[in-house]
Structures are given as C-alpha cells and as structure tokens.
Amino acid sequence: MKSPKNNIYFKIGTIVTIALLLLIPTSMIKGLINERELTQVETISEVSSKWGEQQTISGPFITIPYVRYIKEFSKKDSVEKTVQIKEYLHILPSELDISGNIHPELRYRGIYEIVVYNSKINLTGKFSSLNFSEIDVPLNNIQFDKARLTLGISDLRGIEEQINLGWNSKQFSFNPGVTTNDVVSSGINSEISVSPNDSSSYTFSLSINLKGSQLLYFTPVGKVTDIKISSAWKNPSFNGAFLPDRRSVSDSGFVANWNVLHLNRNYPQAWIGSKHSISESAFGIDLLLPVDNYQKTYRSIRYAILFIGFTFLVFFFIEVLNKVFIHPIQYILVGIALVVFYTLLLSISEHLTFNLAFILSAVATLALIAGYVKAILKSTKLTYLISGILLVLYSFIFVIIQLQDFALLIGSIGIFIILGLVMYYSRKIDWYNLNLEEEKVEAV
C-alpha cells in the first residue's frame, strides 16, 4: 500500500485544497481594501461637508409665477367652482458666457489626501426678446412683478462673498433659496425687472467666489453656451455630458473651452413647471488625484490565484522531477507568504507611491520565500529557479497594472505563455507510472 507521501493523487488533492483554502484570507484582504477605501471616501466626505461639497452651477434662468384657473366639480354639494393654481414659467438665456479660474488645494486628514478648491467664476449673458405669445399663458395671468433670476448652486456653503447681479443698468443682490424646485432644488435668486413687451432684451453679469471639493460642473442653459475654465491643476478629468472643444493640459495646469448649442441638449429655452430636467446635461472638471492606490491594489489581488497556483505547480514539478519531498505544511507557509504580500502592498501604498510600495513588498516577499526554499531544499539552483519564476510573475502583474487599457490583452497572452511552458516541461512525465517509479526508487 502506498503511503500518502508517495501517492501522487493524494499530493495533488492536498495542494489543490491548500490553494483553495488560501483564497479565504485573500478574500478577507479584498474586504480590507474595500474597508480602507470606504474610510477614505468617508474622510473626503467629512472634509467636504465642512469646506464645500462637489459643486454644480445651473443657470441662470428667469422664473416668473403665473396663475391659471381650472374648474372643479364637487360631488358633495354638486357645485362646480373655479380654482386658482399657481405655477411657474422658466426662461433660459439666449447667450451665456462663463469664465473662471480654479485654485485647488490639497488637504490632509490622517493619511488621506483630499482635493478642495476656491474658484472665481464670472457669468455674463443675454436674454433676447421674451416671446410670451409662444407660451399658452395669457399675459394678464403672468405676475411680472414677481419675476426672479435663479442660479442653481448645489452647495450654498461654498459661497464666499455676497453675490450681486448686474441686470441691464440696474444692480440687485441675490437672496438664498429658490422660489420653486421645478428646475433646481438649491440655489440663489434675485428680483429683476421684466416687461411684458416682447421686444425687450436683458443683459446680465455676476461673479461668484465659490468653494468646493473635487468636482465643478456647469449646465449649458444658454441657446449658445461658451465656457472657459483654467487652473494650475495638472491632472484634470473632463466628465459629464460634453467634453471640451479645446483643451490644453501641461505640468503648469490646464485650460479648457466648451461651446454648447441648445440643439445639443434635450430641453427647450422656455417651459412651464417641471416638464424638463437640466441636470442630465451637466459637465465639467474632476480634479483627480494622480494615483488611486486602493484600485491598483484591488486589481493586483485579483491575480492572487495565479500566484498561488503557479507557485505550487512549480513546487510540485520540483518534487516530481527532482525526487524531493515538500511537506504540505511547507506549501501552506509559502502560500501564506504570497498572501501577506498584499497586506504589505496595501499598508505601504497608503504612505508611499504605489509603484514603490509594490517593489518593496515584492522584494520582501521574494527574500522571505527564497530564504525558506534554500533552507528546506538545500539547493541553490532550485532557490534561484523559484525566485526567478516569482520575479517574473511579480513583474508581469506590475506591467498589467500599469497598462490598464491593455490589461486583458497582456494578461491573456501571459497566461497563454505560462500554460505553454507548463505543458512543455511536463510533456515527458509518465503520470500513470509515476507512483510505480517512486516505489522502485525506494526499493533500490
């Protein structure tokens, strides 16, 4: 009867079982990565809540209340009566020009970095002649004396100074809040003078000193909207419904220009009530941090099964080809060392750059495994062989992480090459007679 030590099927089963069990601590490390990333998000949210959240500037647009009358029939007393309902008319500008500069700052809370900014935004534009005849509302029902210019700002805590409105030749001051939630739910408003005369046109201008965190978005409410934003931040991401028509990004910062027409969005220049939403057309700048260590660490741990499986496969081939015995406990210790690499990578990357953390963690793990292999196999040649294979694996994963767009392609090619090498070096092994050969060796 063959002992477990010489039973090839028992050995393979043991190795596979150990490899699968090592996926448990690997999944726990994935949970730790998610937990640390969530802590980072909560820290950013905490700082942002005190400084200013992500900002979206919506507008400006004119809001005018009007009344309409409907007839209601009361079943209780069988009387038909007329009921007055108050609704709002919203008019967007024909021209909107926005220019501004963003001054980003890095804030620290513990080990985490948070991007906040101060911005100086100038808005100018024009409301062409307001053709009320196109709207099915009698002029007598429109309350022109209660007209307001509304500017949506997602977090009012970011406003630094009083905002004044230049309206034709007049000056008005903005007040907090919006008269209705039809278009925006947060913002400021100012009284304006509007005439029922269809030929009247209105120019406006205002400046905002606005604080926020990471994101600054705009909505293209103008029939023609021109936006120009500059900043000293050298890692911007342009997101949202529209990308810049022109942009320049360098080590000294960026300049971006957008030109959006009313034909590019899915709402008109005037409507009644809450028929349309302008938030879907928002776009702007995301002040990205250069590196996201948690995403890269998570991407690297997805290849943990490849590390564990291929390393165990190499150890198994060494047993078969060199007639040496490696105890299952030794497999477990090597596997744990491979898993500990990811905890080292996660913890070090929170204090250093990811690339340096990866190199330090890989070198430490390689040195640990190489020393252990040298001690148990007593062979310098086999130690160099295993260390070299692990070095190739770590280099392979490092390249995949850097080439994110080509990760699937490079990964597929790499795994194909690894499979080819395994098939090549195992081609002469007689698996059916492997146990029998081991018995002959013992008999001699």
Q: Yes or no: say if 63 and 127 are a contact pair by the CB < 8 Å rule.
A: no
pLDDT digits (tens, 9 = 90+) for 80-93: 677 778 889 999 99
* pLDDT per residue of the chain (444 residues) written in tens, 0 to 9: 455 556 677 778 888 898 899 989 999 988 988 888 888 778 877 777 778 889 999 989 999 998 887 777 666 666 767 777 888 999 999 999 999 999 998 887 777 778 889 999 999 999 987 766 667 777 788 888 899 999 999 999 999 899 999 999 899 999 999 999 999 999 999 999 887 776 678 999 999 999 998 899 999 999 999 999 999 998 899 999 999 999 999 989 999 999 999 999 999 998 988 889 999 999 999 987 765 788 888 888 888 888 888 888 888 888 777 777 888 898 899 999 999 999 999 999 888 888 899 999 999 999 999 999 888 888 888 888 888 888 888 888 888 877 766 767 777 887 788 778 777 777 766 666 665 444 444 433
- Whole-number Å distance between alpha carbons of 243 and 416: 39
What does the DSSP assignment read for 206-233? EEEEEEEESEEEE---SSEEEEEEEES-
CA-based angle 98:133:279, to the nearest 5? Answer: 35
**Which of the 8 DSSP states describes residue 94?**
S
- Whole-number Å distance between alpha carbons of 118 and 160: 9
Q: For 291, how many CA atoms within 13 A lie in the half-sphere containing its CB?
A: 16
Helix (H) or strand (E) holding 67: strand 55-74
pLDDT digits (tens, 9 = 90+) for 260-303: 999 999 999 989 888 899 999 999 999 877 657 888 888 888 88
- Whole-number Å distance between alpha carbons of 177 and 174: 9
**Which of the 8 DSSP states describes residue 273?**
T
**Which of the 8 DSSP states describes residue 177?**
S
- Whole-number Å distance between alpha carbons of 5 and 442: 12
Q: Yes or no: say if 38 and 131 are a contact pair by the CB < 8 Å rule.
A: no
CA-based angle 126:132:136, to the nearest 5? Answer: 140
- Whole-number Å distance between alpha carbons of 252 and 245: 20
- Whole-number Å distance between alpha carbons of 168 and 324: 92
Q: Yes or no: say if 61 and 183 are a contact pair by the CB < 8 Å rule.
A: yes
- Whole-number Å distance between alpha carbons of 133 and 154: 33
| Closest of 183, 155, 285, 165 to residue 227, by C-alpha | 285
CB-based contacts of 204, cutoff 8 Å, min separation 6: 60, 93, 123, 124, 125, 126, 127, 149, 165, 166, 167
Integer CA distances (angstroms), 439 to 177, 317, 321, 356, in order: 88, 18, 15, 49
Cβ of 310: how many Cβ atoms within 10 Å? 20
Q: pTM for the full model?
A: 0.72
